[in-house]
Amino acid sequence: MHIVDRRLNPGGKSLANRQRFMRRAKSLIRKAVHESAASRGIKDADEGGEVSLPAQGVHEPGFHRDRSGGMRDHVLPGNKEYVAGDTIPRPPGGAGGGGSEGSPDGDGEDDFRFTLTRDEFVELFLEDLELPDLAKRRVADTESVSWERAGYSVTGSPSNLALLRTVRNGLSRRIALHRPKPEEMAALRAEIAALDEADPRRPALLEELERKLRRLGVIPYIDPLDVRYKRFDPRPKPVAQAVMFCLMDVSGSMTEHMKDLAKRFYVLLYIFLRRKYKHVEVVFIRHTHQASEVDEDTFFNSPETGGTVVSTALEEMRAVVAERYSPDAWNIYAAQASDGDNTASDNERTAELLIQAILPVCQYYAYLEVGRESEHFPPGFIRRDSDLWQTYAEIVQSGAPMAMRKVNHRRDIYPVFRELFARKHAHAGAESA
Amino acid sequence: MTLATPTRPLFEGADWEFSTVQRAYEAIEQIALGELGLDVYPNQIEVIGTEQMLDAYSSIGMPLFYKHWSFGKQFARNEALYRAGMQGLAYEIVINSNPCISYIMEENTATLQTLVIAHAAFGHNHFFKNNYLFRQWTDANGILDYLEFAKSYIAECEEKHGEAAVERLLDAAHALMTHGVHRYPRPRAIDLRGEERRARERRAYDESVFNDLWRTVPGKSNAHKDPTAGERRRALLQLPQENILYFLEKAAPRLAPWQREILRIVRQIAQYFYPQSQTKLMNEGCATYVHYRIMNRLHEKGLLTDGAMVEFLRSHTNVVFQPEFDDPRYSSINPYALGFAMMQDIARICNEPTAEDLQWFPAIAGKGDEMAVLRDVWANYRDESFILQFLSPRLIRQFGLFHVLDDAEDPHLTVQAIHDERGYRKIQRALARQYDIAWTLPDIQVVDVDLDGDRKLVLQHRALNRVLLDEKDARAVLQHLADLWGYDVVMREIDPTGEQVMKEHSLTPRPGIVRAI
């Protein structure tokens, strides 16, 4: 008998099968991922985890009998009262005497549940999306610089001396100029020492020694010409952290449904940023006629009453940016959700704040106008755009890094998000909404 | 047991190390071979972790297997269930090979490891080595080598022909796997090593005689019609043929050689597992009975502490639990429960027969040596014949078995038989049928193919008791079949009593699914 310890065998034996399965069920998994992401909190939205697929999608067919019709026999354990000849009313939902026949082939498969890793999850979730104009703005806005090695130079500070390269240059120069080697000198000296004072060869050898000593003095071991320094070039360092501002109107006119839509959008944005940046912070700012920074739970769940003054939220955001998130060190993204109401007198102030204070520091500003679930108007009746919408539309037309969309239904969120961040036309959609 | 035994227990507490396993194995071996007279393949015991157990689950328990998405699906499902705590993992997996490989989980306690060794390394192992079905149908010596060959061959094909092409082929082959088995033994013995060697030779030969010119030789003109041609053709093609994969491998006109080889691999593996599906009840019954005897004996000898014995009895009781039909936990008859009960019952009949037993089982009642009887039973029966022969009236009463007939044309279900004098035989017969694979698998055969005309392949399903096939799945499988065949396929579902056609499915191959050109 052998006992073999296999525990240390390399794992991941079925990884190849898993990848094949993922490829096979890609469209189903993608759908499941989107649905599951919507039901999570913002911060743990991209943690990977369990998704469930409809069993039919990855079904493996086989010949087996239909589960109804024809004549069937069942032998069951646990008889208590029946005698031969008794009739039993057919149990609802199909055949099966009393209990159910053992499904011979797993035909009654439930939904197929399995776990995705975080990477798989995000990868599927954000396929072919891209942050708008990321690279361009990044270079313009970043001030932090990293130094990278870029070959050698002949000047530099002693601390950057490239020792190896310097010595190597010296060696090749010494070879090229025939600088006498120490062992040659030693051999010559030994030869002279071995000869008699009166040997006829002695003068010639002494002369040669003399010549070589001179040469040794003229050709230095290391010449300033040999010296090389490591060269460093400055490279602008991409800022690897981002902050995401969630601005939301929480006044009475915002229903639960609207908040839910907003939340879904924030979740998507958060996941998206997480993929691009090492470190993402989220700031929640809610406003009525006054704004305040709150935590996630309060943001979504505690009701407020009051008027609607959007500029207060922008003011608050500006204050937070000034206090904690210097645009040099942070990529700033903002997403605002509102039902579009604003106090009429505030629109001008809002636009001004946005153009002068907010947009210049933001990588991207998204405005999401959330509506009621069933918003329909009588034919011929044209819906008037909201105050906020009109105000923002002007700004967007001027080409600011900003996008706006209207969303009424949960199912629209993801398409809208994809549209905003689709790889090709990052800005094109602003007018079409 | 009450005598003071000088022996020290094999272990105390739950922890174990390799020397513990070794000691337990030796003690068990002594009992199994010496006292129970079991005959086993040499054992190899492999300690594995959770992930490896899940790995083994997903490739039907085999240590190496080719790659396919369905195994990934299996793995993902099991992993999700396991992580959610909804499903425990088996304590062991055992492979019918020589040497017999048993996987044991590192998380098991020392008691469980002892139980697992008794159950798998001796119980199952004895059954694999001795049961006639396994002897006839499987080659324990060659299976691991053959799987190795299958894996590398399929990997090679993926490299040569693309993963997608191989995947489509395997999808189709897997769909037909249940009908890729020779049900009736033929004279030659199974020799998987020779199989592998022949496959290599076939390929080498094909490559050596390949001449592209043959492609350009004009075919012979249409042979004149012969009235007996149909019969001759069916004879040549060995029709009717129930092994659909075999038929495709030999006769499908458009498959490339590598595709035939892969069909052959899938078919060989299906064949290898065929005995397992016919002996589930006996196999588990045998292993459970063996571990029960061995564990009790170890305890008697003082090799197991009382605590370990209680722990063992607890898992044993869970394993052989049979919920009744009106229990929400009921899904089907538990093969461990019924198998174990029948083995114990046979032992009882041998040693303490009642008058009833003497009448029902004259051959074994009161014979005494229960292990000899059981060894003979384990060697010479399969589930169906085993139940028909050995399900005793006493057991029928104990389980309260009753037989219900469900006829779709009748508004009610009828109780046909219960545990009484008139019912015993009927219940034996009805239950045996549930374990008869010829009865549970639909009877589907290739009956004809028109080779001179449109090459339409004709299949027939003899709808036993007028139960038709599940239409959606049947059409999906037939679609795969049509893709492999390359021409139209039609399947008629007929009522075997009246021979009239109840339903007909016909399908056309999708272009370029199996053959890209």
Which of A12-21, A61-70, A191-200 has the highest average model confidence (pLDDT)? A191-200
CA distances to A151, A152, A166, A225, A234 from A228, in Å: 10, 6, 5, 8, 19
Task: Give the pLDDT band (50/70/90) at residue A379.
Answer: low
DSSP state of B123: I
ipTM: 0.76
User: Which three-class secondary structure string do you get for B279-308?
Assistant: CHHHHHHHHHHHHHHHHHHHHHCCCCCHHH
Helices (H), B252-279: 257-278
Q: Which of A8, A14, A113, A117 to mutate to test the interface with B (most CBs of B within 10 A)?
A: A14
The answer to whether A250 touches A303, Cβ cutoff 8 Å, is yes
Domain residue limits, chain B = 18-131+279-312, 320-439, 441-507
| Per-residue pLDDT tens digits for B306-344 | 999 999 999 899 888 888 888 888 888 888 999 999 999
Predicted local confidence at residue A112, as pLDDT: 67
DSSP assignment of B362-392 equals TTTTT---HHHHHHHHHHH--HHHHHHHH--
Q: What is the dihedral of CA B242, B246, B250, B254, to 10 degrees?
A: 100
Predicted local confidence at residue A313, as pLDDT: 87
Window from A107-111, A211-215, B107-111, B435-439 with minimum mean pLDDT: A107-111
Query: Quick check: B223 pLDDT over 60?
Result: no
What single letter denotes the amino acid at residue B229? A
| Per-residue pLDDT tens digits for B227-237 | 566 777 777 77
Name the more confident of B476 and A274: B476
Cis check: omega of the bond before B323, within 30 degrees of 0 = no
* Interface touch A50/B84, C-beta < 8 Å: yes
Name the more confident of A99 and B5: B5
| Per-residue pLDDT tens digits for A23-72 | 887 777 777 776 666 665 555 655 666 667 666 667 888 888 887 777 78
What integer is the mean pLDDT of A105-120? 60
Chain A residue numbers with beta carbons less than 8 Å from the beta carbon of B178 are: 62-63
Cis check: omega of the bond before A415, within 30 degrees of 0 = no
What integer is the mean pLDDT of B105-111? 86
| Portion 309-338 of B in contact with A at CB < 8 A | 322-327, 330-333
The answer to whether B489 touches B457, Cβ cutoff 8 Å, is yes
Tell me the two tokens of residue A113: 């549940």
Predicted local confidence at residue A375, as pLDDT: 56
Q: What is the rounded distance in angstroms from the CA atom of residue A65 to the CA atom of residue A42?
A: 47
Chain A residue numbers with beta carbons less than 8 Å from the beta carbon of B84 are: 50, 113
Name the more confident of A232 and A144: A232
Predicted local confidence at residue A38, as pLDDT: 60
* Interface touch A84/B417, C-beta < 8 Å: yes
| Per-residue pLDDT tens digits for B27-51 | 999 999 999 999 999 999 988 888 8
The values of phi and psi at residue B223, to 5°, are: -65, 150
In three-state secondary structure terms, B402 is strand
Task: Give the pLDDT band (50/70/90) at residue A173.
Answer: very high
What integer is the mean pLDDT of B416-421? 87
Name the more confident of B169 and A121: B169
Strands B100-105 and A229-236: unpaired
Name the more confident of B390 and A253: B390
Predicted local confidence at residue A37, as pLDDT: 62
What integer is the mean pLDDT of B373-392? 92
* CA neighbor of B463 nearest in space, from B431, B491, B427, B423: B491
Q: What is the rounded distance in angstroms from the CA atom of residue B316 to the CA atom of residue B198?
A: 46
Predicted local confidence at residue B219, as pLDDT: 62
Task: Give the pLDDT band (50/70/90) at residue A105.
Answer: very low
Distance from the A92 Cα atom to the nearest Cα atom in chain B, whole angstroms = 11
Predicted local confidence at residue A288, as pLDDT: 83
The answer to whether B111 touches B312, Cβ cutoff 8 Å, is yes
Predicted local confidence at residue A268, as pLDDT: 78
* Interface touch A20/B69, C-beta < 8 Å: yes
Predicted local confidence at residue B87, as pLDDT: 62
* Interface touch A65/B48, C-beta < 8 Å: no
B439 in A contact zone (CB under 8 Å): no
The answer to whether B492 touches B459, Cβ cutoff 8 Å, is yes
What single letter denotes the amino acid at residue B317? T
Query: Quick check: A128 pLDDT over 70?
Result: no
Chain B residue numbers with beta carbons less than 8 Å from the beta carbon of A50 are: 80, 84
Distance from the A63 Cα atom to the nearest Cα atom in chain B, whole angstroms = 5
Name the more confident of B389 and A395: B389
CATH number for the domain formed by residue range(s) A134-142+237-431: 3.40.50.410
| Per-residue pLDDT tens digits for B351-362 | 989 988 888 998
Query: Quick check: B508 pLDDT over 70?
Result: yes
B33 in A contact zone (CB under 8 Å): no
Domain residue limits, chain A = 22-56+109-125, 134-142+237-431, 158-232
In three-state secondary structure terms, A323 is helix
Predicted local confidence at residue A426, as pLDDT: 40
* Interface touch B467/A65, C-beta < 8 Å: yes
| Portion 366-405 of B in contact with A at CB < 8 A | 399-405
Share of chain B above pLDDT 90, in %: 23
Distance from the B295 Cα atom to the nearest Cα atom in chain A, whole angstroms = 20
Q: What is the mean pLDDT of chain A?
A: 76
| Per-residue pLDDT tens digits for B241-282 | 888 999 888 888 888 889 999 999 999 888 888 888 889 899
In three-state secondary structure terms, A405 is strand
Name the more confident of A101 and B30: B30
**Closest Cα in chain A to B412:** A89
Q: What is the rounded distance in angstroms from the CA atom of residue B467 to the CA atom of residue B465?
A: 5
Helices (H), B89-236: 110-116, 125-130, 132-137, 143-161, 163-175, 192-209, 229-236
The values of phi and psi at residue B304, to 5°, are: -115, 135
Q: What is the rounded distance in angstroms from the CA atom of residue A323 to the CA atom of residue A317?
A: 10
* Interface touch A89/B412, C-beta < 8 Å: yes
Task: Give the pLDDT band (50/70/90) at residue A132.
Answer: low
Predicted local confidence at residue B9, as pLDDT: 82
Query: Quick check: B1 pLDDT over 50?
Result: no
Residues A176, A181, A184, A190, CA torsion sign:
positive
What integer is the mean pLDDT of B66-81? 80
Chain B residue numbers with beta carbons less than 8 Å from the beta carbon of A13 are: 52, 55
**Closest Cα in chain A to B326:** A99
Predicted local confidence at residue A241, as pLDDT: 75
Name the more confident of B313 and B91: B313
Name the more confident of A209 and B438: A209
